[in-house]
């Protein structure tokens, strides 16, 4: 073979390999719209205000309970996942899961019934720890951390969780795991490749948003060198997730974005603020999450902590947050008509000096009940359930005391 022929063949092979379009299975952000939450069925009249709360407790006390997330796995059934261990970042940290069935009863429970008579959370069980992660991912895993639950359009339950091989949170990688039976059994985990630098420093915290295409938009954040929010775009394919991501903002000032869809293309992202401004920041998108405005500050304070938000049926936004620039000694609810201005505090669910109430997570189930979970004194998960009628009632009766249900 002459040199010329050989080179011609080689260049033809190289150009074919690199330039022939590859089968495209990735998500293309911006090509779908946000899927807004379906309104609960109209019962023909104004609902009675409803407020209930309970705790999700380990059988034996655990040193550190943190970062709960909540998901409606089927109409009337909730699942909650969080991580717990002797301390944050300890090797014995596991991701725990508990179920709450028949949540529909919450909406119809009479005032005479106590929450425990209605239903209660199942005994928590470990669904992920470093041993399981090591076995399923076939590599060294030193510890696990933040975890998140959500369902896709096919009603598969997904667990996204953080694993770390070396270092602290900035050494995190994200992994996915699927359950076809609402969390009873789980498929094998797989690693999501999301960062060019050793595939580390991607973390998850807040609730995902569904797209009309059936794909999932999941807010994540980066913590190595820069600290900034990102959108992870997920497409379920069997028991695996295909993932891409886009950036919401650069720099090193904002993490833990919380996305609240306000319309098919419009959403607000609330951001944990790492700067000295000590205010919750926000961004907006008008193209279904593809691009975002520069972060600006809300009037609400932020002590460098996570918050949660959900859009109510009248278009207003309900937020759960720490109402302080200094500490996490309270858990407060506030409402804004447009999600940006004129926030009105409607309830202080907890306020105890020198204690921690952190990492709230909000979701609205298909029956219209709003569920809030958060880390209570870092010892338990507190679950608060209320409806929009209760929110309306609170708006007309501003809080005077702690423990919102007893106002």
Site for other proteins in 135-154 (CB under 8 A): 137-141
Least distance in angstroms from the C-beta of 11 to other proteins? 4
Least distance in angstroms from the C-beta of 173 to other proteins? 8
Least distance in angstroms from the C-beta of 284 to other proteins? 15
223 vs 200: CA distance, rounded Å: 9
Q: CB under 8 A: which stretch of 21-29, 53-61, 118-126, 327-335 binds other proteins? A: 21-29
99 or 230: CB nearest other proteins: 230
How many positions of this chain bind other proteins (CB under 8 A)?
A: 48
- 3-state helix, strand and coil shares in percent for the chain, rounded to the nearest 5: 10, 45, 45
Contacting residue, 58, 105, 191, 377, with other proteins by CB under 8 A: 191
Q: Does 1 bind other proteins (CB under 8 A)?
A: no
1 or 19: CB nearest other proteins: 19
Q: CB under 8 A: which stretch of 187-195, 310-318, 335-343, 398-406 binds other proteins? A: 187-195
Closest CA to 321 of 206, 154, 191: 206
Alpha helices by DSSP H, listed for 356-407, are 388-396
Closest CA to 324 of 361, 279, 354: 279
- Side-chain half-sphere exposure of 120, counting CA atoms within 13 A: 12
Least distance in angstroms from the C-beta of 69 to other proteins? 25
| Cross-strand partners of 95 | 83, 128
Least distance in angstroms from the C-beta of 19 to other proteins? 5
Contacting residue, 73, 149, 165, 308, with other proteins by CB under 8 A: 165
231 or 307: CB nearest other proteins: 231
Phi-psi region of 107 (alpha: psi -120 to 50; beta: other; left: phi over 0): alpha
247 vs 230: CA distance, rounded Å: 4
Q: Does 21 bind other proteins (CB under 8 A)?
A: yes
12 vs 389: CA distance, rounded Å: 68
Site for other proteins in 229-288 (CB under 8 A): 230, 242-247, 249-252
264 vs 32: CA distance, rounded Å: 9
Q: Does 131 bind other proteins (CB under 8 A)?
A: no
Binding mask 208-237 for other proteins (x = CB under 8 A): --------------x-xxxxx-x-------
Q: Does 13 bind other proteins (CB under 8 A)?
A: yes
| Cross-strand partners of 364 | 370
- Tokens for 7? 């080179």
96 or 221: CB nearest other proteins: 221
176 or 348: CB nearest other proteins: 176
Residues 6+ apart with CB under 8 A from 205: 67, 146, 148, 219, 220, 221, 256, 306, 359
Least distance in angstroms from the C-beta of 17 to other proteins? 3
Least distance in angstroms from the C-beta of 345 to other proteins? 33
Contacting residue, 1, 112, 166, 184, with other proteins by CB under 8 A: 166
- Tokens for 178? 């699927």
146 or 283: CB nearest other proteins: 283
Site for other proteins in 362-391 (CB under 8 A): none
Phi-psi region of 76 (alpha: psi -120 to 50; beta: other; left: phi over 0): left
Residue owning tokens 């447009």: 338
243 vs 157: CA distance, rounded Å: 17
Under a CB-based contact definition with an 8 Å cutoff, are residues 144 and 164 in contact?
Answer: yes
Residues 6+ apart with CB under 8 A from 166: 142
Contacting residue, 33, 199, 324, 402, with other proteins by CB under 8 A: 199
Q: Does 293 bind other proteins (CB under 8 A)?
A: no
Interface ranges with other proteins (CB under 8 A): 7, 10-11, 13-15, 17-19, 21-22, 24-26, 28, 137-141, 165-166, 173, 190-191, 193, 195-199, 222, 224-228, 230, 242-247, 249-252
């Amino acid at each position: 073979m002459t040199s010329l022929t050989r080179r011609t063949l080689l260049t033809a092979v190289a150009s074919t390999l690199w330039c022939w379009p590859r089968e495209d299975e990735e998500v293309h952000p911006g090509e779908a719209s946000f899927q807004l939450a379906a309104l609960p069925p109209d019962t023909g009249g104004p609902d009675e205000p409803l407020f209930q709360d309970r705790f999700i407790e380990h059988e034996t006390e655990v040193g550190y309970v943190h970062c709960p997330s909540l998901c409606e796995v089927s109409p009337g059934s909730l699942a909650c996942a969080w991580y717990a261990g002797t301390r944050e970042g300890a090797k014995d940290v596991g991701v725990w899961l508990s179920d709450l069935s028949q949540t529909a009863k919450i909406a119809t429970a009479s005032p005479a019934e106590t929450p425990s008579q209605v239903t209660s959370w199942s005994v928590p069980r470990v669904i992920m720890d470093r041993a399981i992660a090591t076995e399923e991912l076939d590599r060294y895993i030193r510890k696990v951390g933040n975890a998140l639950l959500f369902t896709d359009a096919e009603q598969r339950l997904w667990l996204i969780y953080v694993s770390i091989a070396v270092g602290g949170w900035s050494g995190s990688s994200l992994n996915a795991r699927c359950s076809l039976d609402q969390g009873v059994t789980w498929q094998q985990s797989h690693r999501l490749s999301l960062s060019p630098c050793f595939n580390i420093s991607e973390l998850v915290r807040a609730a995902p948003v569904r797209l009309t295409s059936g794909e999932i938009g999941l807010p994540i954040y980066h913590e190595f060198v820069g600290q900034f929010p990102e959108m992870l775009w997920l497409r379920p394919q069997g028991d695996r997730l295909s993932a891409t991501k886009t950036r919401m903002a650069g720099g090193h000032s904002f993490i833990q974005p919380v996305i609240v869809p306000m319309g098919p293309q419009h959403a607000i992202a609330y951001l944990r603020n790492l700067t000295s401004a000590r205010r919750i920041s926000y961004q907006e998108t008008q193209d279904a999450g593809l691009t975002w405005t520069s972060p600006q500050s809300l009037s609400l304070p932020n002590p460098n902590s996570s918050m949660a938000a959900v859009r109510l049926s009248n278009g207003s936004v309900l937020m759960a947050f720490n109402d302080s620039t200094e500490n996490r000694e309270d858990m407060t609810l506030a409402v804004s008509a447009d999600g940006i201005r004129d926030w009105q505090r409607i309830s202080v669910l907890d306020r105890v000096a020198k204690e921690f109430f952190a990492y709230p997570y909000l979701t609205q189930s298909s029956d219209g009940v709003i569920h809030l979970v958060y880390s209570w004194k870092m010892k338990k998960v507190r679950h608060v359930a209320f409806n929009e009628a209760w929110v309306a009632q609170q708006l007309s009766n501003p809080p005077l005391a702690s423990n919102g249900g007893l106002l």
